[in-house]
């Protein structure tokens, strides 16, 4: 059973006593207040499993329910859903992070499998960095596309035409990513070592866009170094980005003596 938004003044739904698993489907900042409300109402018992759906919080968000001796944990589908009616299809095949007490983990894994998802276990202390990775993969991908759309608008296209022009490029990139890991799918001036192009890009951008370009360029340089870019070329690209070289560890070269990996 799923519980929506609640607070200290809300009465818990009567069906909770009959449910085995209770899912708190609320905003991150509402999880603990809702757990407090349920704890005060004494409707959660040791026979229950209580899960929340936050990507960044773990079982600690359900702290008010510890005294109930229920199984506490979290289930986070690693998927983005804008249109609720598409949720069932979107969830099929998606991975789902499961965390918490043993009973909660078992229940979360079963729910994920029943919905066609692929559950994986994650440590409570790792949830923040895990969710930050998810934000980069999804939310910030959207932000970067919005920046690209705006730059094409500055180049003379309408918003609609800018996005229509960019979509095949984005779809081609996602197709590359469906076949290769990010390091292998990277293209563009950084991986080519085209420092003159990088400088022209930065000179064309407003201050905030240039900062973002440099930050992403440095991350791209790290991938290029892992692909095997020479140190000399990497230094040239870093100079164009006005940044330092990312610390990249490369495999040691076999020789008569034992080698040691060194920064790129």
pLDDT tens digits along 26-41: 999 999 999 999 999 9
Residue 101: give its domain's CATH number: 3.40.50.720
The number of folded domains in the chain is: 2
Question: Comparing C-alpha atoms, which of 85, 102, 86 is closest to residue 94?
Answer: 86
Domain membership flag for residue 142: no
Domain membership flag for residue 225: yes
The pair of structure tokens assigned to 34 is 């809702």
Strand partners, 77: 96
Domain membership flag for residue 205: yes
Q: What's the domain range around 80?
A: 2-136
130 & 187 share domain: no
Q: How far apart are CA 55 and CA 97, in angstroms?
A: 8
39: CB partners within 8 A, 6+ apart? 64, 65, 67, 68
Domain membership flag for residue 152: no
Task: Identify the domain boundary among 82, 101, 136.
Answer: 136
The pTM of the full predicted model, rounded to 2 decimals, is 0.85
Q: 185 by DSSP, 3-state: which? A: helix
The pair of structure tokens assigned to 231 is 């140190």
117 & 18 share domain: yes
Task: Identify the domain boundary among 105, 136, 167.
Answer: 136
* Predicted confidence (pLDDT) per residue in 125-144, tens digit: 999 999 999 999 999 999 99
> For the chain, what is the mean pLDDT?
91
125 & 10 share domain: yes
Task: Please say whether the beta carbons of 14 and 3 come within 8 A.
Answer: no
Q: What is the pLDDT of residue 248?
A: 75
94 & 42 share domain: yes
Q: Does 213 score more than 70 pLDDT?
A: yes
The pair of structure tokens assigned to 56 is 């960044």
Which DSSP symbol is given to 258? Answer: -
Domain membership flag for residue 113: yes
- Of all residues in the chain, what percent carry a pLDDT higher than 90? 83
Higher pLDDT, residue 185 or 6: 185
> 10 Å Cβ neighbour count for 9?
6
114 & 190 share domain: no
């Amino acid at each position: 059973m799923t519980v929506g938004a609640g607070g200290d003044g809300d009465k818990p739904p009567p069906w909770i006593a009959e449910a085995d698993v209770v899912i708190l489907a609320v905003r991150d900042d509402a999880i603990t207040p809702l757990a407090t409300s349920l704890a005060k109402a004494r409707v959660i018992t040791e026979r229950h499993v209580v899960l929340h759906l936050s990507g960044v919080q773990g079982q600690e968000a359900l702290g008010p329910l510890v005294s109930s001796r229920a199984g506490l944990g979290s289930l986070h589908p690693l998927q983005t859903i804008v249109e609720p009616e598409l949720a069932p299809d979107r969830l099929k095949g998606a991975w789902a992070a499961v965390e918490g007490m043993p009973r909660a983990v078992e229940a979360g894994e079963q729910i994920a499998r029943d919905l066609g998802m692929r559950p994986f276990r994650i440590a409570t202390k790792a949830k923040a960095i895990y969710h930050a990775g998810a934000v980069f993969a999804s939310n910030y991908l959207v932000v970067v596309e919005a920046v690209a759309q705006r730059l094409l608008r500055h180049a003379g296209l309408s918003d609609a035409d800018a996005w229509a022009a960019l979509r095949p490029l984005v779809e081609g990139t996602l197709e590359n990513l469906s076949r290769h890991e990010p390091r292998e799918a990277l293209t563009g001036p950084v991986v080519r070592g085209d420092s003159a192009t990088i400088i022209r890009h930065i000179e064309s951008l407003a201050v905030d866009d240039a900062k973002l370009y440099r930050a992403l360029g440095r991350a791209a340089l790290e991938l290029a170094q892992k692909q095997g870019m020479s140190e000399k070329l990497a230094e040239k690209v870093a100079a164009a980005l006005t940044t330092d070289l990312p610390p990249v560890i490369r495999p040691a070269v076999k020789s008569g003596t034992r080698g040691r990996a060194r920064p790129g």
